[in-house]
Structure 1
Amino acid sequence: MKRHLGLLLIIGSIALLFGKAIAAESGDLLGSLKSQGQIWSSPKVDGDLVYFGSDDGNIYAYDRNSRKLKWRYATGGKVRSSADFSANAVFFSSDDGLLYALDKRSGKLKWKFNLSDKDAKRILPAGYAPWVFDYTKSSPVVDGNVLYIGSSDHHLYALSISTGELKWSFKAGDRIRSTAAFNDSLVFISSWDGGTYALNKQSGELVWQHISQTRVVSSPTLIGDKIIIGSRDTRIYALNAQQGHVLWVYKFSNGSWVESSATKGENDHVFYIGSSDNKQLMKFDANTGKPLWTFNTQGWSWGTPTYNNGRVYLGATGAEKNWTTVKRGFFAVDAVTGKEHWSYQPRPINDYVHGGVFGSVAVNNDEVFVPDLDGHVYIFKM
């Protein structure tokens, strides 16, 4: 069922005005969290707080229950990184070139690390050349006492989560905008040089590499014994995680980039992924690379799907004056049938990418937290 955000906001306001308790149904708007800039990061829930970054340069922590701002922390650039956590800290990076470790409860700075990419110039999506579309950011991932994060200075860094001390770094051939994945022995990262690299977790030494035909913006995803990657060479690759050899390749015949990262489904045998000009959410057999169903999003599905309790959530961004019609959208899709369960129409913003949803949702206690480019995280009934 399609929802229009403006109407949902009006209905919610009327309910609050008259103090009426209205039983929420799946897809109903429950509330929102606000920033002052576009939200390209993915909200993350930890305990009773929701964390997200904004293009206004702030990191926000909102109380999940009261919807009230707990704290915010100002950086010197866009915050398109998503969060990860240790027991007491939350980690984010910013376009000011720094990685921040903040106290989760107070937002006070614990330490910061210089990623040496403050001067990296973004060429954001536009309807003219060069077609760089540099809109993503590597996010930190925590693995025990170590944090991994990529940088536009071409490096993947491994840091101590308690002090920010550098343990090792690995240099790729171009910017790293992807987010790392890891297993017991290896950490995986992709780069604009087209490479996907498997590194020894202890030393950072190269174990294997796979080179696609052009830039890789999406992040490698570990599903069972496979690494799934999407590339702007119009292909999805499945690689053996330990040796790196290619298990299968899926190619989009219409030349669609694959900006989206894969998400594991209900087991290790299936995954979900979006596409760019193909404008689809797709479910794949992880063993064969065969599509199991496709869902038309009508817009650029650049983000990473979220699978939860039999549903798949994915947004789409829209654009003005593109060579094909590209519409804003957000969708909750049945994981078995590929049919829409509910959706909403995001409001327009004044930009070439004229709105929609890029970041992945967070699902917590029957609530879906959706990061909208209009500067809000909207909360829907699951």
Structure 2
Amino acid sequence: MKHIKYLALGLLLVAALLIVTGCTTTPTAWPGLTADDETIYATLLDGQVHALNPDNGHEMWVFPNAPPAKSGLGCQGPAQSAGLYASPVLNEEKVFVVGHDGQAYALDKTNGVQQWIFSNQEETKSGLAGLFSERKNPAIIGSPTLDGDILYIPSADRNLYAVDAESGLKKWVFQADDAIWASPLVTENRLYIAVMDHKLYCLDKETQTEIWTFDVGGAIPSTPALAGDTIYIGSLARKVFAVDADTGQERWSFEAGSWVWATPLVISDTVYVSEIDGTLYALDAENGAKRWEFIAGGKIQGAPAYADGILYLTSEDMNLYALDAATGTQKWQFTASAALVSGPVLVDDTLYVADMNNKVYALSTESGVQKWLYDPNPEK
């Protein structure tokens, strides 16, 4: 496969509403997708990981074998559902998934058999993360980041855990001043950690020593993007920032109309940024000047995917839009059966996307024509 795109990790509005209210019986999950050369891995609203054949959508295995029990986030006691917010992460042998129960699982890629489990149940904090303090397992909302043999796991308990990917044993912990929802950005020598206390932390990867911090003036729910020597950060301060990756000095900022939730996408000299009210902006990567904007029919929570001059954008209006990346002109759209809160995954000439009705679609990148549909509960 020539193109493999992981689902963008800035899809956290639902989490914010559920966490703040703590009073809902809605399943604490949303769909996420990841792909390798042989399998599509889908975390769906049933709290399960579904391994699918990419050619026809046939189910290969499911973990766990039965959906976990559903419960609210706080009004009726601790949640019992291991709801999944994050897309799986892969290496050659394992699938790594994390849940609202504060646990990370390593599964065998071929059959879904659990290899190990890591739990953050010993850690409870105050502040925003303290909303989870009655629970033994503070929620993990963002996907882990895999770097060699280390799995970096963000957590709402304010901690970033470095875990051995082979054994699941904890190696070290970095504690921030508030919840960490976003996947960390890892380079050869540095860790960039976006925190809900409004700061981006730059750490030495080996020693975890703080090199610099940058305050964006609002919570940072999603992973920044790195292109060259510049980091691009979205925030709930309704701004996008370009920051020098080495020094943490601001290069420019762009004022958006509402929260910037998803990870920015950088292609060549353009930064694509979506805001929660349904607008996608194309910005000049050098100075932040707006080149064009596209307004979808609903909220945008996921970052777009890109291939061969085309952007693929999902929206809560149930539509997936194909846009000319240079102009923002719409080429086609596909309408699902429910809201699309997660960005698409792109593999060769096929797009994979999951909706809030628990359905996974395979679409042609050229036309948006549906190739197959996976529904784990077709009788409903």
TM-score by length of 1: 0.77
CA displacement at 1:341 relative to structure 2: 1.4
Q: Does 1:171 align with 2:154?
A: no
Is residue 145–residue 186 contact of structure 2 (8 Å, CA) maintained in 1? no
Q: Name the CA distance, whole Å, in 2 between partners of 1:242 and 1:283.
A: 25
Residues 1:273 and 2:263 aligned together: no
- In the aligned structure 2, how far is the partner of 1:39 from the partner of 1:293? 33
Other-structure match for 1:262: 264
Q: Over residues 113-169 of structure 1, what are the superposed CA-to-partner deviations in whole Å (9 max), with x where a residue is unaligned?
A: 11337997989xxxxxxxxxxx99210121111111200111111221111222222
State whether residues 136 and 217 of structure 1, in contact with CA within 8 Å, keep that contact through their aligned partners in structure 2: no
Asked if 1 retains the 8 angstrom alpha-carbon contact of 2:301 and 2:315, the reply is yes
Q: 1:118–1:57: structure 2 CA closer, same or farther, 3 Å change rule? A: farther
Cα 1:64–1:121, aligned 2, differ >3 Å: closer, same or farther?
farther
Amino acid aligned to 1:315:
T
Partner residue of 2:345 out of 347, 350, 362: 362
What residue in structure 2 maps to residue 311 of structure 1? 310
How far apart in 1 are the matches of 2:51 and 2:289?
41
Q: How far apart, CA to CA, are the structure 1 residues paired with 2:210 and 2:117?
A: 27
Question: Deviation at 1:379?
Answer: 0.8
Task: Find the counterpart in structure 2 of residue 107 from structure 1.
Answer: 112
Given candidates 94, 102, 105, the residue that maps to 1:97 is 102
154, 160, 163: which one pairs with 1:159?
Answer: 163
* 2:130–2:157 CA contact under 8 A, matched in 1: no
User: Within 2, Cα distance between the matches of 1:301 and 1:199?
Assistant: 31
Tell me whether 1:244 sits opposite 2:248 in the alignment.
Answer: yes
Asked if the contact 2:31–2:358 (Cα under 8 Å) also holds between the matched residues in 1, the reply is: no
SS of the residue corresponding to residue 288 of structure 2 reads: coil
- Letter paired with 2:321: F
> Equivalents in 2 of 1:105, 1:99: separation in Å?
18
Deviation at residue 299 of structure 1 after TM alignment: 1.5
Q: CA deviation at 1:205?
A: 2.0
**Which letter does structure 2 place at the counterpart of 1:98?**
Q
**1:207 matched to 2:206:** no
Quick one: which of 225, 231, 243 aligns to 1:227? 231
Instruction: Give SS of 1:356's match.
Output: coil
Structure 1, unaligned stretches of length 5 or more?
A: 1-36, 124-134, 318-326, 348-354
**Equivalence for 2:362:** 379
After superposition, the C-alpha distances for 1:159-199 in whole angstroms (9 at most, x for unaligned) are 21111222222111111111111221111121111111111
Residue type matched to 1:360 in 2? G
User: Could you tell me the percent identity over the aligned residues?
Assistant: 28
- Work out whether 1:292 is the aligned partner of 2:294: no
Segments of 4+ moved more than 4 angstroms: 117-123
Residue 40 (structure 2) aligns with = 50
Separation in structure 2 between the aligned mates of residue 235 and residue 57 of structure 1, nearest angstrom: 33
Indicate how the Cα distance of structure 1 residues 41 and 191 shifts in structure 2: closer, same or farther if over 3 A, else same.
farther
Separation in structure 1 between the aligned mates of residue 61 and residue 131 of structure 2, nearest angstrom: 28
Number of matched pairs: 314
Q: Give a deviation string over 1:184-229, Cα, whole Å, max 9, x none.
A: 1111121111111111111222211111222111211111111111
- Displacement of 1:55: 2.4
The answer to which of 170-179 and 39-48 deviates more is: 39-48
Is the 8 Å Cα contact of residues 28 and 100 (structure 2) preserved in structure 1? no
The alpha-carbon distance between structure 1 residues 38 and 192, as it changes in their structure 2 partners (threshold 3 A), is closer
Give a deviation string over 1:62-97, Cα, whole Å, max 9, x none. 111231111111264111111111110111101111
Q: What is the RMSD computed on CA atoms of the aligned residues?
A: 2.2
Partners of 1:138 and 1:264 in 2: how far apart? 20
**Aligned partners of 1:122 and 1:346: how far apart in 2?**
34
In structure 1, C-alpha distance between the alignment counterparts of 2:323 and 2:181, rounded to whole Å:
28
Query: Does residue 1:338 correspond to 2:342, yes or no?
Result: no
- Cα distance in 2, alignment partners of residues 291 and 136 from structure 1: 34
Counterpart residue number, 1:132? none
Classify the secondary structure of the residue corresponding to 2:315. strand
Output the CA distance in 1 between the equivalents of 2:173 and 2:101. Answer: 20
Whole-angstrom distance in 2 between the partners of 1:286 and 1:179: 22
1:86 aligns with 2:86: no
Q: Distance in 2 between matches of 1:189 and 1:306?
A: 23
For structure 2, the 5+ residue unaligned runs are: 1-26, 69-80, 133-138, 366-380
Partner AA of 1:372 in structure 2:
D
Matched to 1:273, the amino acid is V
| Distance apart, 1:38 and its partner CA | 8.9
Provide the C-alpha distance between the structure 2 equivalents of 1:211 and 1:173, rounded to a whole number of angstroms: 13
Tell me what 1:302 maps to: 301
8 Å contact kept, 1:45–1:362: yes
